[in-house]
Structure 1
């Protein structure tokens, strides 16, 4: 199939999986399942665009990029799955939406999840652009992109582990995690999530300008930054933290960078 056909096929996968996610959350009362399905849907959609589309790029690069998006998808998806399966309360972001939307919650959530699927099209197009760049496989850009993704996945895993260990200690109940990576950024997991999407434009963009679709790969990091920093990531989570942690979180905000890891400021 053509590149456009593969992106359209991936779009159908995304829409269908988010519809299933809506049905699962309705049956379980736990909306966090939507994030599980979204993570896996991006991985499957990325596979479709990387491996099923006809293109000029070498097969080795296609498999490399396909492996990268699956590696990311499995790590994030299973992390959220483990958290959701053992959760005793709904994710605070979705709980806030449930209260805000009231009786219209289910209808509006279905539309919200389909918008997430629509955003996912930009990510699978990013994967397509990297997978099909012409030129010899395993060039320097391929290795740099792979290294960036590995750093991002490991960094996000470390941040998640540090937060999980902090929350598991009863002595930290009601406190704000400001240890390890969380001392340098209020959302190091989101930062590393964004960093991983920079791997694809590194691979996709040809410095000679011979592969114009490579510029499509910039959609991924730009879209993820917008979502994480301005839409569904930091704003609702920090609103919840301000309500639940109050002055402790305000003090943390005063001394800690919101997104990019930076040395802590004096309070």
Structure 2
């Protein structure tokens, strides 16, 4: 029987638990600070800032679904809960906001349409696979499992910040959509279409038995190694541009939304993980190395492949 004590006398399990608790605390603190800043000058509901209600709800929904999921040791509803949170909270904001204007409804539609598409896409993926190996080592550990749900609450809150802050703005006379709003809408549509088309192309590629064990380099994937992520970044930039004209004071924290999405996908959980996985599988293959050398990581190459 081996001891759970490191040579330095520190419990490995205890260290992991402390690190997990610290991560949860930091995530909640960031969420609270963004909620505080984004609520400045905004509308209130029952004496509490409306945007702060939205952020609190985003975290609460995760905890409520985490409880039965932890008991059953299942991650089956994790991704679906994230998508549903965007939808539920956005609808709640539109209902509770004082006289939501055209900008609010447009922003709400942007978030809801994106979340509906993402939710259906992820649900279909988990339905096909039956499980998600990302959770194999943690779903039996209630504290570590809770951490990923809390982080999902933070992800939702930061990603939707621009739209939610603009919708929950004060009761002052609103700005018309204007040319900047139209630019944002066009960018959002472009990003949404790119993301959807890229995902459809990849699904079709994987569904063809002839492509088993091969990497995709056709369609949008011939112009970018991660066109779906490029579309994702583009659409949240569009959301932020639509929201910008009504932001005041500390509400400018809303711009954390596109910045967060860019950093998350390009530096943390998106591109780096998939690039490492692809390098491990196809690294050294002449076709793959040529593809990497000639194809941008994110930005779509405008010239023909």
TM-score by length of 2: 0.72
Kindly indicate whether residue 151 of structure 2 is the aligned counterpart of residue 151 of structure 1.
no
User: Which stretch of structure 1 is more off in the superposition, 232-241 or 68-77?
Assistant: 232-241
Residue 201 of structure 1 contacts residue 214 of structure 1 at CA under 8 Å; is this kept in 2?
no
Unaligned runs of at least 5 residues, structure 2: 1-42
Tell me the distance in 1 between the aligned counterparts of 2:80 and 2:297: 25
Match of 2:257 in 1: 220
User: Is the radius of gyration larger for structure 1 or structure 2?
Assistant: 2
**CA shift in 2, pair 1:254/1:66, >3 Å:** same
Cα deviation, 1:240-267, whole Å, max 9, x if unaligned, reads 233333434555333321112225899x
Match of 2:113 in 1: 71
Tell me the distance in 2 between the aligned counterparts of 1:236 and 1:210: 35
Match of 2:89 in 1: 45
Q: Equivalent residue of 1:259, what SS?
A: coil
Cα deviation, 1:36-75, whole Å, max 9, x if unaligned, reads 2212212322333444234xx8622222211121111111
Match of 1:239 in 2: 276
User: Which stretch of structure 1 is more off in the superposition, 58-67 or 125-134?
Assistant: 125-134
Kindly indicate whether residue 155 of structure 2 is the aligned counterpart of residue 119 of structure 1.
yes
Match of 1:15 in 2: 59
Residue 47 of structure 1 contacts residue 66 of structure 1 at CA under 8 Å; is this kept in 2?
yes
User: Which stretch of structure 1 is more off in the superposition, 62-71 or 256-265?
Assistant: 256-265
Match of 2:206 in 1: 167
- Counterpart mapping for 1:25-40 below 5 A: 27=72, 29=74, 31=75, 33-40=77-84
Q: Please report how far the alpha carbon of residue 103 of structure 1 lies from its aligned counterpart in structure 2 after TM superposition.
A: 6.2
Cα deviation, 1:159-186, whole Å, max 9, x if unaligned, reads 0010001101111111110111111111
Tell me the distance in 2 between the aligned counterparts of 1:210 and 1:241: 41
TM-score by length of 1: 0.81
Kindly indicate whether residue 235 of structure 2 is the aligned counterpart of residue 196 of structure 1.
yes
User: Which stretch of structure 1 is more off in the superposition, 170-179 or 194-203?
Assistant: 194-203
Q: Equivalent residue of 2:49, what SS?
A: helix
Kindly indicate whether residue 126 of structure 2 is the aligned counterpart of residue 84 of structure 1.
yes
Match of 2:146 in 1: 110
Task: Say how many residue pairs are matched.
Answer: 255
Unaligned runs of at least 5 residues, structure 1: none
Tell me the distance in 2 between the aligned counterparts of 1:234 and 1:32: 24
* One of 202, 211, 217 as aligned partner of 2:248: 211
Tell me the distance in 2 between the aligned counterparts of 1:121 and 1:235: 23
**CA shift in 2, pair 1:25/1:74, >3 Å:** farther
